[in-house]
Chains A and B, each alone.
Chain A
Amino acid sequence: EVQLVESGGGLVQPGGSLRLSRLSCAASGFTFSSYWMSWVRQAPGKGLEWVANINQAGTEKYYVDSVKGRFTISRDNARNSLYLQMNSLRAEDTAVYYCARDLRWRGSYYNDYWGQGTLVTVSS
């Protein structure tokens, strides 16, 4: 059974980039190193927003414009884990962050499995 379990969320001050600000996603039930992976977020009461994704080897990374230069996606295939390092956090980064598996499809991709999400709140 495919499982994605996020952790690391919590309350962070604006401008923060503490250790708390690295999200983790533990994957199991599939060959993690064979799949692209994504982070998708959802602000309270709002819709879904793709944040970033990464290829199998960790050599290709893409980001939504609003987080470029502040967030870094990475992975450790030996640990079956996906990460999102978040720096210079802003109030508008407050959201539930989901880890999701990507399936490539005719030039695009979709997300067939999602974690339960972890809430990041940016507030003083």
Chain B
Amino acid sequence: QSVLTQPPSVSGAPGQRVTISCTGSNSNIGAGYDVHWYQQLPGTAPKLLIYGNSNRPTGVPDRFSGTKSGTSASLAITGLQAEDEADYYCQSYDSSLSGSVFGGGTKLTVL
């Protein structure tokens, strides 16, 4: 059981918008620690997608955006493309565990 909770799967048609939620608690997201997001394509290492709740590293398309509110965060992907089909993970810091925590991951299927 992961400390951060994500839906196991989401899906959408090309061109559509999807969101992936990440729910934590008062020892991580709710304590004010920021949320970061990663994309993992099949058979590859994770890639940083969003850092500090809503910041995109250089090279990440603006179709990807992140928000945070209270004990939750969300990743939104607009204009879905086939190449977006991947696993997505949220990450934060947990003060009671003194370490980084990940969500269980969400598999995005582009229909």
Contacts and interface: CB of A to CB of B under 8 A. Distances in A.
Measured as residues with beta carbon below 8 angstroms from the partner, the interface class of chain A is 20 to 34
Binding site secondary structure of chain B:
strand
A19 interface: no
Interface in B16-66: 32-34, 36, 38, 40, 44-48, 51-52, 57
B105 A47 contact: yes
Contact of A114 (B2, B46, B100): B46
A49 B97 CA distance: 13
Given A47-B105, A63-B99, A112-B51, A107 B93 contact: yes
Q: Determine the interface band of chain B, counting residues with CB < 8 A from chain A.
A: 20 to 34
Interface of B: 2, 32-34, 36, 38, 40, 44-48, 51-52, 57, 87, 89, 91-93, 97-105
Interface of A: 38, 40, 47-50, 53, 62-65, 98, 103, 105-117
